[in-house]
Amino acid sequence: MNLRQANEYTRRLFDTNRVKWVHEGTKPADTSAEKSVNVLIGTLSKHCAMCLNLNGCCFVEEKCPPKPLHPNCHCFCVDIPSITAKAECPIEKFTKYIFANGNSKKDLFESWGHSIMDSQYLQQEFIKQAILSYSVGDYELGLLNEYGQRVNIAITLKRKDKNGYVTFRSGWMVYPNGKIVLTTPYGRK
Ligand SMILES: [Zn+2]
Ligand SMILES: [Zn+2]
């Protein structure tokens, strides 16, 4: 991170309101299995899976799903002092996906000098950058559906083949209380 970015992040920490989405009376879905249960509940009852799966999720106020989400949506947001971000980034996203034979992204990452041996390094870099960006609101809202809200976060990697950096978009699913989980390691810019 350069000085300009550091100043921008510091400003955001003080100037940005953070909120938590509330769907009253239901338990937040903390795992992917619990999200799937909510999707099932959504198909079997009048409960809305999208709202159930947004319950407890944290956003900066200006990048929060719109309220109401639909007619008769009773969800609301409460202010929270900060987003204590936790990012989960399964190493298999690199070892078994990006660097899988036949994946076009393998050539791309290798052209930057990164190989499957760097999977742990990449995992740590993704986690570090995602935690910082999400907690200060440096993300874009991505797909919102019955499983919940995804956010897109820019990842900048130092090239190993030569001097310089590459920046691309990664996709994360939002879970309650500051947790995000990597879904798409490399998306289009
Ligand atoms: Zn709803
Ligand atoms: Zn709702």
What number is the average pLDDT over the span 106-125?
96
- Omega cis (within 30) before 81: no
Centroid of ligand 2 to alpha carbon of 28 (angstroms): 13
Residues 72 and 22 in one domain: yes
Task: With residue 35 as reference, give the H or E element that holds it.
Answer: helix 32-44
Determine how β-strand 179-187 pairs with β-strand 86-88.
parallel
Rounded to an integer, what distance in angstroms lies between the CA atom of residue 120 and that of residue 92? Answer: 10
Domain boundary among 56, 80, 104: 80
Structure tokens at 107: 């050539």
> Do 35 and 26 meet the contact criterion of CB atoms below 8 Å apart?
no
For residue 17, name the pLDDT band (cuts at 50, 70, 90): very high
pLDDT confidence of residue 179: 98
Rounded to an integer, what distance in angstroms lies between the CA atom of residue 152 and that of residue 142? Answer: 6
The pTM of this model reads 0.93
Q: Which residue has the higher pLDDT, 51 or 6?
A: 51
Centroid of ligand 2 to alpha carbon of 115 (angstroms): 44
Centroid of ligand 2 to alpha carbon of 48 (angstroms): 7
pLDDT confidence of residue 18: 96
Centroid of ligand 2 to alpha carbon of 26 (angstroms): 12
Number of domains observed in the structure of the chain: 2
Centroid of ligand 2 to alpha carbon of 79 (angstroms): 17
Rounded to an integer, what distance in angstroms lies between the CA atom of residue 146 and that of residue 42? Answer: 8
The answer to whether residue 6 is domain-embedded is: no
Domain boundary among 60, 80, 100: 80
Centroid of ligand 1 to alpha carbon of 136 (angstroms): 27
What number is the average pLDDT over the span 95-117?
95
Centroid of ligand 2 to alpha carbon of 32 (angstroms): 20
Centroid of ligand 1 to alpha carbon of 23 (angstroms): 9
pLDDT confidence of residue 189: 54
What number is the average pLDDT over the span 139-163?
96
Task: With residue 121 as reference, give the H or E element that holds it.
Answer: helix 119-136
The answer to whether residue 38 is domain-embedded is: yes
Q: Give the CB-side neighbour count of residue 12, counting CA atoms within 13 A.
A: 21
pLDDT at 130 over 80: yes
The residues with which 158 forms a beta bridge, in sequence order, are: 165
Structural domain including 38 reads: 16-80
The answer to whether residue 156 is domain-embedded is: yes
Centroid of ligand 1 to alpha carbon of 70 (angstroms): 6
Q: Which residue has the higher pLDDT, 50 or 188?
A: 50
